[in-house]
Homo-oligomer: A and B are copies of this chain.
Amino acid sequence: MILKVDGKIPREILERLIKKLEEDLNVEVYPTVGKDFTILGLVGDTSVIDIKHVSSFEYVVDVQRIQDPFKRAGRHFKPEDSIIEVGGKVKIGGKDLVMMAGPCSVESEEQLLTIAKAVKKAGANMLRGGVVKPRTSPYAFQGMGMEGIKLMKKAKEETGLPIVCEVMSIEQLHEFGPHLDMIQLGARNMQNFDLLKEVGKTNIPVLLKRGLSATIEEWLMSAEYIMAGGNENVVLCERGIRTYETAYRNVLDLNAVPMLKSKTHLPIVVDPAHGTGKWWMVKDLANAGVAVGAHGLMVEVHHKPEEAFSDGPQSLKPEKFEELMTEVQKVAEIFGKKFF
């Protein structure tokens, strides 16, 4: 950690500051005296130091981290790739890619089973489906709840696909969690810290979506929250970020994939449906997601998108999903990977 200190600091205050830093933070401090500023280099385990705390000292103008603030999530902590096992079948993080497909919302048994069978047939290896929906409007469909979980379990029985559903609160975590192979934490809950802590106490695999305008560092700190509690089964999901551009719903940030791979050992999945908001862009971005090195994809499929209760505009029809699977498989092969 680097502290930029105003050069006007009196000598005795500088000495007192250095002493305080060394004692309070258990680090060694190396000063470099420049013309207008003095630089203090802090050596030791600075990942747990609160940058805001250190910024408040008088004469301290700026503080920069040198070490990433996450530990368990960091590649320096665990150099080899993590492989997260889901439902005793799917392994996320290695050469085998995961395809999580299914409807945005679970709406009925007929709807879910139709779609589940279609995605299974096309080559998906996990089934997604929302039973509670973070809807902007209180007047929009809010999801089937526990009734939907039962349908997801039924679909699992029929297809053999492990299932992933979003949970939005601690209560839902406890209610739905035991029935699921993986839980999803949505973009709007990426910094719901109480929920993250509670998830950390379980050992259920987690798909942690990036917040709408979360930085890479904040995202990894949210993973750290879960891992600090003991649950190391975290998979990251890039789903587009908010920018000034209005031509699409979000901008899918594929830069995030290689950057994350350099910083963390956790696997990364790409969601081109939310990342674009338009079904006719999904296949192209899915191909790009595999080409850039993601460990898997999440795609929304609906057999009647115009009747979908949510996110119809970004859902693929089953026949389009099949086309997508055919193409992404070919891209994967180039890189020695496959959807198994």
Contact = CB atoms under 8 A, between A and B. Distances in A.
B37 A32 contact: no
Interface string A275-301: 110001100110111111100000000
Contacts of A330: 334
B169 A53 contact: no
Interface in A45-65: 45, 47-48, 50, 52-53, 55-58, 62, 64
Copies in the complex: 4
A217 interface: yes
A249 to B, nearest CB: 9
Given A35-B43, A281-B259, A288-B288, A194 B217 contact: no
Nearest to A287: B291
A283 B262 CA distance: 14
Contact of A34 (B66, B194, B311, B334): B66
A248 B327 CA distance: 29
A255 B244 contact: no
Interface string A78-117: 0000000000000000000000000000000000000000
Contacts of A168: 192-194
Nearest to A132: B194
Nearest to A189: B192
A251 B248 contact: no
A291 B50 CA distance: 34
A276 to B, nearest CB: 5
Nearest to A307: B56
Contacts of A195: 169
A312 interface: yes
Contacts of A69: 136-137
A77 B224 CA distance: 44
Interface of A: 2, 4, 30, 32-37, 39, 41, 43-45, 47-48, 50, 52-53, 55-58, 62, 64, 66-67, 69, 76, 134-141, 168-172, 188-189, 191-197, 212-213, 215-218, 221, 224-225, 228-229, 241-248, 251-255, 257-259, 262, 275-276, 280-281, 284-285, 287-293, 305-313, 315, 327, 330-331, 334
3 closest residue pairs by CB, A with B = A56-B312, A32-B41, A291-B291
21 contacts: A30-B30, A32-B43, A41-B41, A52-B311, A53-B308, A135-B193, A137-B224, A138-B221, A138-B224, A138-B228, A139-B228, A170-B170, A188-B191, A188-B192, A189-B192, A248-B255, A248-B259, A258-B284, A284-B291, A288-B292, A291-B291
